């Protein structure tokens, strides 16, 4: 009797294969089938969803990362069958601009376990219906869908569907394997989140990555740095929005090591012994405690030396070069003294930066290297300082022999002061730059105390000051330079132009912080400085004018750098008739069709639509920012996209008053494109 049922099921299956369950779009070919032809009561089997994805396009994992949407299956199941959760393939990281997503390229095979009831009757033809939605992205993101149907017969024995049974078994072998006793721990200290793992063979791990299922567990775009221990390793990264206030519970995910993937749960709490949690990322396996500190100090010293080659330091190094030129033929003792004073200025400045960093972190602020350049008044003051230094090098301004030891008076007592403050200034302008090896050493200080932090900053200072300090103790090298003469005047004037270039760069930085008002304030201050220099050359009335100009400079900077400036667009909701209404009122209309799962949309919003320049341009052009949010399906938005020949987002339209046909902007935006379009 069972043989007859099997034969019946086999012929029935062949008869139903003409209705293959396939959906084909421009970007994905999806097929849903069972890995059996016949199922016996009480047995389990699998539904297999296979997606072939267009080249350069991708779909998403259960946690899509910074943007995206996971594939979803809505079942209509026959009576007597239950479905389990999707068994997700192991994802890979997919980067686009500043975002990182988790998903699949090329091919993705999803397994869904199905279970037949024990009392399932023989001789049935079971019909399975599924409505499946997925998101596929490249430069644009397109939501796609398909309706799928397949049938399975019931019988005395379970008979495999050879083709799809093979596909299922291959996919199952590639799934993340269950945890085999790995010990875990997760800690959160400030902005540092660590995942620690210990177990047999893990101490030899060279590269690993942890994919958390929780979308808010980590900042997906941050790297996961590895440190090694005697029994395992630790991954160092930064917490996501849901972990910022603490680790509230276990974190499920997939740990990939080389080509192997393990499904496990990381438990909040202390790191297991030997997992390398007390070793810095990048340190050699087994290097702990003092060894890690020594490595950090070495990296800091090397990074400090290389920092001398960074572009931001060049203006001050030009001053130091001028100093060496003028002193090349001095007494050796004098040159050494200046080298020591320069190094002292560098060290004291680095220690001051380290101390301020410790104090601000202790107050709860999350800051890092170069934090002082995030303060607009400091940036403005530095821009003005470089402007003044340039004027001095050109000979328009002289402060005697007490200001930074420049000019022909370097041989006097002011040269000592100048050597010291040149070291101070070098550190100030070096702060926005990070050299190779230096970043790792600074990252070490995130989890260390004050003594270690100051030690690392001292090593940075020693490395930064070492080249000039060494030259000052080998004056014979300096004597290879030409003897002082008229050429020095021209050389000194030439060195003014790196100062002016640095000032221009800082004003550009200020534009992104304080907007056009802040830039205007600094430029006005420069005009007042030149007026003060001119007035100071006069008699008493001239000096009075210079003093007034000085107070005017302070007032201009204070009012300009503390004025209000818009920093973001104010979106309104797009509706089908809203554009025409705004055009009738004389507005330029910028329409942004976007979605929270659209990675390109998120990149554009961060890089091209969030700046103060764009906000000011919108106000100047009397433009209105409309947002059509397609995160959830919306028939009106879908029709509007189709009207403009698009199947997905992003889509950017610019309407000017009296124009029915909009300008369509590219899918990848820049600030300049947006501003040009609305100001046309």
Are 262 and 190 contained in the same domain?
yes
Sequence-distant (≥ 6) Cβ neighbours of residue 2 within 8 angstroms: 155, 156, 157
Residue 234 lies in a domain: yes
Q: Find the CATH number of the domain harbouring 241.
A: 2.60.40
Structure tokens at 61: 């994992």
- Give the pLDDT of residue 457: 87
Rounded Cα distance between 485 and 489, Å, is: 8
Per-residue confidence band for 227, with pLDDT thresholds at 50, 70 and 90: confident
Report pLDDT digits (tens) over 20-54: 589 999 999 999 999 999 999 999 999 999 999 99
What confidence category does residue 542 fall into, taking pLDDT thresholds of 50, 70 and 90? low
Instruction: Compute and round to an integer the Cα radius of gyration of the chain.
Output: 34
Q: Which residues contact 661 (CB under 8 A, 6 or more apart)?
A: none
Q: When comparing pLDDT for 278 and 556, which is higher?
A: 278
Same domain, residue pair 538 and 652? no
**pLDDT score at 89:** 97
Whether 301 shows a pLDDT value over 50: the answer reads yes
Check if the beta carbon of residue 54 is closer than 8 Å to that of residue 28: yes
Q: Rounded CA gap, 110 and 49, in Å?
A: 5
What's the pLDDT score for residue 612?
84
Mean pLDDT (whole number) for 612-624:
91
Residues 265 and 224 in one domain: yes
CA 641 to chain centre: 30
Closest CA to 186 of 271, 295, 259: 271
In the chain, what is the greatest distance between 2 CA atoms, to the nearest angstrom?
122
Tell me if 566 is assigned to some domain.
no
Q: What is the pLDDT of residues 263-286, one digit of tens each?
A: 999 999 999 999 988 876 654 444
Kind of pairing between the strands at 623-629 and 44-53: unpaired
Give the least confident one: 59-63, 97-101, 394-398.
394-398
The answer to whether residues 345 and 435 belong to one domain is: yes
Report whether pLDDT(187) > 60.
yes
At 6, is the pLDDT very low, low, confident or very high (cuts 50, 70, 90)?
Answer: very low
How many domains is the chain built from?
A: 4
Q: Domain holding 624: CATH number?
A: 3.40.30.10
Place of tokens 């409505």: 131
Q: Is the pLDDT of residue 232 over 80?
A: yes
- Coil, strand or helix at 516: helix
1 band by pLDDT with thresholds 50, 70 and 90: very low
Last residue of one domain, picked from the residues 561, 595, 627: 561
Q: How confident is the model at residue 334 (pLDDT cuts 50, 70, 90)?
A: confident
Chain mean position to CA 286 = 30
Q: Please, what's the b/e burial string for 15-31 (b: 16 or more CB within 10 A of its CB; e: otherwise)?
A: ebeeeebebeeebbebb
* DSSP state letter for 87: B
Going by their DSSP bridges, the two strands 36-39 and 141-154 should be labelled as parallel
Arithmetic mean of pLDDT, 495-513: 78
Q: In the listed set 511, 529, 561, which residue is the last one of a domain according to the structure?
A: 561
> Is 527 part of a structural domain of the chain?
yes
Cα angle for residues 261, 264, 266 (degrees, 5° grid) = 125
Please indicate, yes or no, whether residues 545 and 580 belong to a single structural domain of this protein: no
Confidence of residue 558 (pLDDT cuts 50, 70, 90): low
3-state secondary structure (DSSP) of residue 88: coil
136 and 191 belong to one structural domain: no
- What pLDDT, on a 0 to 100 scale, did the predictor assign at position 566? 40
Q: H or E segment at 482?
A: none
User: Are residues 194 and 255 both part of a single domain?
Assistant: yes
Asked if 300 and 294 count as a contact pair (C-beta separation under 8 A), the reply is no
**DSSP structure class, residue 86:** -
Q: List pLDDT tens digits, range 422-432.
A: 778 778 767 65
CA-based nearest residue to 625, from 615, 613, 640, 637: 615
Together in a domain, 240 and 305? no
- Residue 162 in any domain: the answer is yes
Strand order in the sheet with 260-266: 177-178, 260-266, 251-257, 208-212
Helix (H) or strand (E) holding 532: helix 496-536
Residue 98 CB-half CA count within 13 A = 9
| Alpha carbons within 13 A on the beta-carbon side of 259 | 2
Whole-angstrom distance, CA of residue 298 vs CA of residue 353:
19
Quote the pLDDT of residue 477. 64
Same domain, 158 and 226: no
Average pLDDT over residues 485-497: 71
The length of the chain is 680
More confident call, 333 vs 118: 118
Mean pLDDT of 316-338: 65
| Dist. CA 127–CA 149, nearest whole Å | 7
Residue 547: pLDDT band (50, 70, 90) is low
Going by C-beta distance under 8 Å and a sequence separation of 6 or more, which residues neighbour residue 50?
A: 30, 31, 32, 33, 107, 108, 109, 110, 167
| Token couple for 246 | 């603490």
State the CB neighbour count (10 A cutoff) for residue 453.
19
What is the per-residue pLDDT for 400?
A: 39
ω into 77 cis (within 30 of 0): no
Handedness of CA 314, 315, 320, 323 (dihedral sign): positive
pLDDT at 594 over 60: yes
The region, left, alpha or beta by phi > 0 then psi within -120 to 50, assigned to residue 269 is: left
State whether 426 and 539 are in the same domain: yes
The fraction of the chain above a pLDDT of 90, given in percent, is 38
Asked if 229 contacts 284 with a C-beta cutoff of 8 angstroms, the reply is: no
Cα 134 off chain centre by: 26
Q: Which of 213-222, 374-383, 459-468 is predicted least confidently?
A: 374-383
| Residue-number span of the structural domain to which 239 is assigned | 183-284
Whether 247 and 366 map to the same domain: the answer is no
Residue 181 φ/ψ region, left for φ over 0, alpha for ψ in the -120 to 50 degree band, beta for the rest: left
Tell me what pLDDT residue 475 has. 64
- How far is 246 from 187, CA to CA, in rounded Å? 9
- CA-nearest of 634, 596, 594 to 60 is 596
Per-residue pLDDT of 526-540, as tens digits, reads 888 888 777 766 655
- First-residue to last-residue Cα distance in the chain: 81
Residue 627 forms beta bridges with which residues?
573, 592
Q: In this structure, are residues 414 and 400 in contact, taking their beta carbons and an 8 Å threshold?
A: yes
Tokens encoding 133: 């939605």
| 453 touches 443 (CB < 8 A) | no
pLDDT of residue 285: 40
User: Which of the listed ranges 324-338, 342-356, 445-459 does the model predict with the highest average pLDDT?
Assistant: 342-356
Q: What's the mean pLDDT when you consider all of the chain?
A: 80
Question: Which of 150, 174, 198 is the last residue in one of the domains?
Answer: 174
How far from 87 is each of 6, 61, 168, 173, 286, CA to CA, in Å?
Answer: 29, 10, 11, 12, 37
The answer on 192 and 163 residing in a single domain is no
pLDDT above 50: residue 161? yes
Q: What is the CATH number of the domain that holds 170?
A: 2.60.40.1250
Band the pLDDT of 83: cuts 50, 70, 90: very high
| Model confidence, pTM | 0.58
Peptide bond into 650 cis (omega under 30): yes
């Amino acid at each position: 009797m069972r043989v007859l049922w099997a034969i019946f099921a086999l012929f029935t299956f062949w008869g139903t294969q003409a209705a293959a369950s396939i959906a084909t779009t421009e970007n994905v070919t999806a097929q849903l089938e069972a890995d059996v032809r016949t199922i016996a009561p009480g047995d389990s089997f699998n539904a297999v969803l296979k997606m072939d994805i267009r080249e350069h396009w991708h779909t998403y994992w259960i946690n899509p990362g910074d943007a995206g949407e996971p594939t979803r299956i809505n079942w209509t199941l026959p009576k007597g069958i239950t479905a389990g959760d999707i068994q997700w393939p192991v994802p890979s990281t997919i980067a686009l601009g500043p975002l990182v997503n988790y998903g699949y390229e090329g091919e993705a095979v999803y397994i869904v376990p199905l279970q037949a009831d024990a009392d399932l009757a023989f001789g049935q033809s079971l019909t399975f219906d599924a409505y499946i939605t997925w998101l596929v992205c490249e430069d644009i993101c397109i939501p796609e869908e398909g309706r799928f149907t397949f049938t399975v017969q019931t019988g005395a024995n379970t008979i495999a569907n050879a083709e799809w049974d093979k596909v299922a078994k291959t996919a199952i072998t590639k799934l993340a394997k269950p945890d085999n006793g790995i010990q875990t721990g997760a800690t959160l200290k400030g902005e540092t989140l660590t995942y620690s793992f210990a177990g047999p063979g893990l101490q030899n791990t060279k590269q690993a990555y942890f994919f958390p299922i929780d979308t808010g567990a980590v900042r997906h775009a941050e790297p996961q740095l590895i440190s090694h221990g005697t029994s395992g390793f630790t991954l160092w990264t930064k917490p996501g929005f849901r972990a910022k206030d603490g680790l509230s519970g276990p974190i499920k995910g997939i740990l990939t090591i080389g080509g192997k993937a393990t499904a496990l749960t990381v438990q909040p709490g202390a790191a297991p012994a030997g997992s390398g949690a007390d070793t810095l990322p990048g340190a050699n396996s087994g290097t702990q405690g003092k060894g890690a500190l020594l490595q950090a100090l070495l990296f800091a010293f090397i990074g400090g030396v290389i920092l001398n080659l960074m572009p931001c330091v060049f203006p001050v190094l030009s001053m130091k070069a001028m100093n060496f030129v003028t002193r090349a033929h001095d007494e050796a003792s004098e040159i050494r003294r200046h080298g020591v004073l320069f190094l002292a200025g560098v060290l004291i400045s680095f220690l001051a930066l380290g101390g301020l960093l410790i104090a601000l972190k202790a107050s709860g602020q999350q800051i890092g290297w170069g934090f002082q350049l995030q303060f607009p008044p400091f940036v403005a003051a530095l821009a003005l300082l470089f402007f003044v230094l340039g004027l001095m090098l050109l000979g328009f301004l002289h402060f005697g022999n007490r200001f930074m030891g420049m000019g022909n008076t370097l041989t006097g007592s002011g040269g000592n002061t100048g050597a010291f403050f040149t070291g101070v200034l070098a550190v100030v302008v070096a702060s926005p730059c990070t050299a190779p090896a230096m970043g790792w050493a600074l990252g070490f200080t995130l989890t260390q105390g004050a003594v270690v932090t100051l030690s690392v900053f001292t090593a940075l200072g020693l490395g930064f000051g070492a080249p000039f300090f060494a030259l000052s103790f080998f004056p014979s090298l300096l004597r290879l330079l030409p003897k002082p003469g008229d050429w020095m005047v021209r050389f000194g004037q030439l060195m003014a132009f790196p100062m002016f270039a640095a000032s221009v760069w800082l004003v550009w930085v200020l534009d992104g912080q304080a907007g056009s008002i802040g830039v205007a304030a600094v430029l006005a201050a420069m005009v007042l400085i030149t007026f003060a220099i001119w007035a100071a050359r006069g008699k008493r009335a001239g000096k009075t004018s210079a003093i007034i100009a000085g107070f005017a400079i302070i007032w201009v900077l204070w009012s300009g750098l503390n004025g209000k400036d818009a920093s973001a667009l104010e979106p309104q909701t797009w509706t089908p008739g809203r554009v025409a209404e705004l055009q009738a009122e004389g507005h330029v209309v910028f329409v942004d069709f976007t979605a929270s799962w659209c990675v390109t949309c998120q990149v554009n919003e961060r890089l091209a639509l969030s700046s103060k320049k764009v906000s000011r341009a919108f106000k100047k052009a009397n433009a209105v920012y409309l947002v059509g949010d397609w995160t959830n399906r919306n028939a009106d938005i879908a029709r509007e996209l189709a009207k403009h020949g698009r199947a997905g987002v992003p889509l950017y339209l610019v309407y000017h008053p009296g124009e029915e046909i909009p300008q369509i902007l590219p899918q990848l935006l820049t600030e300049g494109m947006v501003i040009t379009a609305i100001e046309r």
